[in-house]
């Protein structure tokens, strides 16, 4: 798992069937790299979240057939990032 910050929403009109109606978020990791994650929890821009990656990411979704290798597992309520 990794802590990342939500930087925005990704809107895609056409998707493969395995992504169906899942919300997509743009996340930024601690190195400044931007990644796209499936969001089953409803995170908003600016939220700090923890993520599941690799094959575990599919199991973090309500439907484990969703095609993803990065899923938001939860929104962090209280956390201060290290400077």
Q: What's the token pair of residue 63?
A: 């439907």
Cβ atoms < 10 Å from Cβ of 9: 13
Tell me the CA distances in angstroms from 4 to 13, 14, 16, 72, one per residue in order: 25, 26, 25, 9
pLDDT at 51: 96
Q: Give the whole-angstrom CA distance, residue 73 versus residue 12.
A: 21
- pTM to 2 decimal places: 0.89
User: What values do phi and psi take at 41, rounded to 5?
Assistant: -110, -10
**Splitting the chain (83 residues) into consecutive groups of 10 residues, what average pLDDT does each group show?**
95 83 93 95 96 90 86 92 69
């Amino acid at each position: 798992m990794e802590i990342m910050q939500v930087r925005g929403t990704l809107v895609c009109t056409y998707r493969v069937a395995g992504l169906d109606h899942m919300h997509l978020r743009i996340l930024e990791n601690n190195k400044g790299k931007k990644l796209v994650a499936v969001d089953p929890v409803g995170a908003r821009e600016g939220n700090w979240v923890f993520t599941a990656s690799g094959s575990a990411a599919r199991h973090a979704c309500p439907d484990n057939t969703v095609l993803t290798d990065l899923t938001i597992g939860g929104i962090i309520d209280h956390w201060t990032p290290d400077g």
